[in-house]
Amino acid sequence: MKSGRLTLVRAWAGVHPTRSALILLAVATLLSLTGARAAIDNLGFLLFDTPVPLLLLVPVLAAVAVAMGSDNTARLPLPQPPRLACARLLWLLTLTALAACASNLGQLADPVVDWQPTTRNLLLYTSLTITTATLASPALAWLPPVTLTVVAMFFGYRTTQPGYHWWATIMEQATSPAQWSCATASFLVAALLHTVHPVTTSHIGSFTAASAR
C-alpha cells in the first residue's frame, strides 16, 4: 500500500517541473539565511526612500517556484474528476508550505524583520504567480510580482507622510489584520482558480465538441 502511494507521488511529481521548483526554493533558502540582516537601499544610481529588507523580497523567488512546480507539463486532455482537483490543491498547498519554510529560514539568523511580513508577502506574491500561470502561462509567472516590487520600491513610499501607499503593502515591515485578511483571501482565490480552472476548461471543451457534432 505504501509502495503504491509512493509510486503515485513520484508519478505526480514527474509530470510537474518539481526539480526546477526545488532548485529555486533552495536558492530562496540560501538568500533567506545569508541575507537575513541585509537591506537594499538602491539599484545602481537609483536610491530608495527607505531601505528594503531582503527578507521581504525573497518570497518573490519562492512564489515563482510554487507556480513553476504547480504546472502540469503533461498537457493531456484527461477527465477531471474531483479527486484530481483535490490532488492539485494539495500539491499547491504543499509547495506553498515549502516556500514559506524557505522564505522564513532566515529567522534563525537574527533577522531585521520577523516571519509575519515575509509570510504575508509570500501569500500575495503566490496569488499573483499562480493566477498568471493558470490564466496565461507559467513562463510569465515572474512578471507580475517583479513588476509590483519594482514599482513599489520606487513609487510606493508616500511623499506627504511616512509610510507606504496601500498598494505597496509588500514593502511594509509591519503587518496588520487587514493585510493578513487581504493576503489570505488573495491566496485562497488564486488556489481555487488553480484548482477548478482545468475542470471548467475540460467541461467547456466537452460541451463545445458535443455541440459541433
Query: Is 123 inside a domain boundary?
Result: yes
- Domain extent at residue 80: 14-207
In a domain, 138, yes or no: yes
Indicate whether 1 belongs to any domain.
no
What angle is formed at CA 65 by the lines to CA 79 and CA 7, rounded to 5 degrees?
50
Q: Give pLDDT tens digits for 114-141.
A: 999 999 999 999 999 999 999 998 899 9
Note whether residue 6 is domain-resident.
no
* Number of independent structural domains in the chain: 1
29/103 Cα distance (integer angstroms): 6
pLDDT class of 161 with cuts at 50, 70, 90: confident
Question: What is the average per-residue pLDDT within 197-205?
Answer: 47
Strands (E), the chain: 39-43, 46-53
Asked if residue 2 belongs to a domain, the reply is no
pTM (two decimals)? 0.86
CA distance 174 to 155: 19
Give a yes or no: residue 3 inside a domain: no
**Percentage of the chain surpassing pLDDT 90?**
59
Helices 82-104, 177-212: axis angle to 10 degrees equals 150
Higher pLDDT, residue 43 or 68: 68
- Mean pLDDT score, 190-200: 80
Answer yes or no: is 84 within a domain: yes
Q: Is there a domain that residue 8 lies in? A: no
